[in-house]
Amino acid sequence: MTTRRLSLKAALAGASVLASGCAIRPAPSAATPVGTTKAEVLAALRLANGYWQRTNASTLWAFWDVAAYHTGNMEAYALTGDETWRQYSTAWAEHNGWSGARSNDRRAWKYSYGEKDEYVLFGDWQICFQTYIDLYRLDPSKEPRKIARALEVMDYQMGTPNKDYWWWADGLYMVMPVMTKLYKLTGERRYLDKLHAYFLYADQLMFDAEAGLYYRDAKYVYPKHKSANGGKDFWARGDGWVFAGLAKVLADLPRDHPAYTLCLDRFRRMAVALRAAQQADGYWTRSLLDPAHAPGPETSGTAFFTYGFLWGMNHGVLDRATHAPLVERSWRFLTQVALQPSGKLGYVQPIGERAIPGQVVDRESTAPFGVGAFLLAAAEMTRFIDNNAQGPA
């Protein structure tokens, strides 16, 4: 392990010179995680994103697994202004026609799980709209085609009487930020009102008030489903989707909207539960409250949690003194264990919906959504360091 860490440190050190333009690194402030500088964080971000884009074509589908990567890529672009990263997401959007599922027969539109074109109302086909909206906002010419499908689909959905669109935890990350982005784009509060109604349904379905965490969906609610030790089973990536989604939504929700108070309460309650569930080596196990159920590190949940904690500290809704040590540990895992010298991000649990006993998750295990989560965390870590350099909030 010592040799591996030294090789990664050497790789990051070389990239740090490129990122900072010189070999001199700024000294971290007292409140910054020990040994973490802005240059090192940017180097890790560039290492991971550069590897992903070199080894994966932009001509992949618009489904959730790939679309989640692009939410991280756009955050990395917003931080660095690297035009190659914006071009990569633009090429992906063009390849997919600025659309998700492509059926035009509204009578056939569904929102149960499905990977075919009629599942237009399924949130896993709507997360792509986050990136399309971001790219539209960056476009000086404001081409209507870039957001036309997002407006068509979401306006149709909001015109139905149904409120049960977000029936699984992942959907809160996939679609809640679409609603706040459309609100910011149009100024129309109806997007926030529907977000509130849909979130209330999801919250009563999946939130466990005692644990302060969300079940992945109704199948996993205790005691119908139990972990290996007979207790409640909360899936790390599922709660990662929710925690990160709440952070993204709180960033855009007006404080006078009723949804804000509820979202902030859930975000803070999750923070308490997640703080207690972190392992000594900085990661979270796949079953949050039962580490023995599926032991060992997992990157996607850990990265989403790291992003959420950093966002909370950066925006004054989580206490720095309490949470900075937690982030120091998780960031160390992400960059010294999960991130390989090549830039490959390992220990990402494959596509699934629960912690699976015996499933192999190792340094070779990677996926686009895991990289996207890491980019979110790295961008927010950079802002955290900047904030600390300016003194306490």
The C-alpha atoms of residue 237 and residue 392 are separated, in whole angstroms, by 31
Cβ contact 239:213 at 8 Å: yes
- Which residue spans within the chain are E strands per DSSP? 207-208, 213-214
Token pair belonging to 321 = 């003194």
Cβ atoms 232, 226 nearer than 8 A: yes
Do residues 345 and 362 lie in contact, with contact meaning Cβ atoms separated by under 8 Å?
no
Burial of 72 (0-12, 13-18, 19+ CB in 10 A): buried
Q: Are 346 and 362 in contact (CB under 8 A)?
A: yes
DSSP for 33-64 reads PTT--HHHHHHHHHHHHHHHHHHS-S----SH
Helix (H, G, I), strand (E, B) or coil at 306: helix
Q: Is 164 a catalytic residue?
A: no
Distances (CA, A) of 25 to 42, 156, 324, 341: 12, 52, 21, 20
In three-state secondary structure terms, 350 is: coil
For residue 342, the tally of other CB atoms under 10 A from its CB is 14
Cβ atoms of residues 248 and 255 within 8 Å: no
**Per-residue b or e along 172-190, where b marks 16 or more CB atoms closer than 10 Å to that residue's CB:** bbbbbbbbbbbbeeeeeee
Closest CA to 354 of 298, 281, 311: 298
Query: Which sign, positive or negative, has the C-alpha torsion 137, 138, 140, 145?
Result: negative
> Given 124, 134, 170, 233, which residue is catalytic?
170
The answer to whether the bond into 26 is cis (omega within 30° of 0) is no
Catalytic positions are: 170
